[in-house]
Amino acid sequence: MFSLFALFAPARPLRAFALLNSQGICRSLRQSAQAPLSAGWVEVTQVNLSWLDQPLPGSAIIPQSRVQARPRTALPA
């Protein structure tokens, strides 16, 4: 029954993330629906393989203020 539900449920869009080391060099790229839990990951506009072992361009990083939180629904009183 779960697989039938999964067919009709809306899919979460994939978000792009880059793992930066302490010098700001991109070490890994990842796409997932949720942000990675470990430290060093930042959300980026896209996955670009040419960023590996390079500093990320400033326009690639999405500021945390633009990251949208899941909308909360009001609970009935």
Does a structural domain hold residue 2?
no
Higher pLDDT, 33 or 65: 33
pLDDT recorded at residue 30: 96
The pTM score is 0.71
Give residue 74's identity as a one-letter amino acid code: A
Q: Using only C-alpha atoms, what is the Rg of the chain? A: 16
Residue 27 lies in a domain: yes
List, for residues 5-37, the tens digit of each pLDDT value.
Answer: 777 777 778 999 999 999 999 999 999 999 999
**Cβ 44 vs Cβ 31: under 8 Å:** no
pLDDT of residue 64: 78
- The range of the structural domain enclosing residue 52 comes to 11-66
3-state secondary structure of 37: coil
The answer to whether residues 45 and 29 touch, using CB atoms and an 8 Å cutoff, is no
Does 21 reside within a domain?
Answer: yes
24 part of a folded domain: yes
Q: Is residue 75 part of a domain?
A: no
Count the domains in the chain: 1
Mean pLDDT over the full length of the chain: 84
pLDDT at 48 over 60: yes
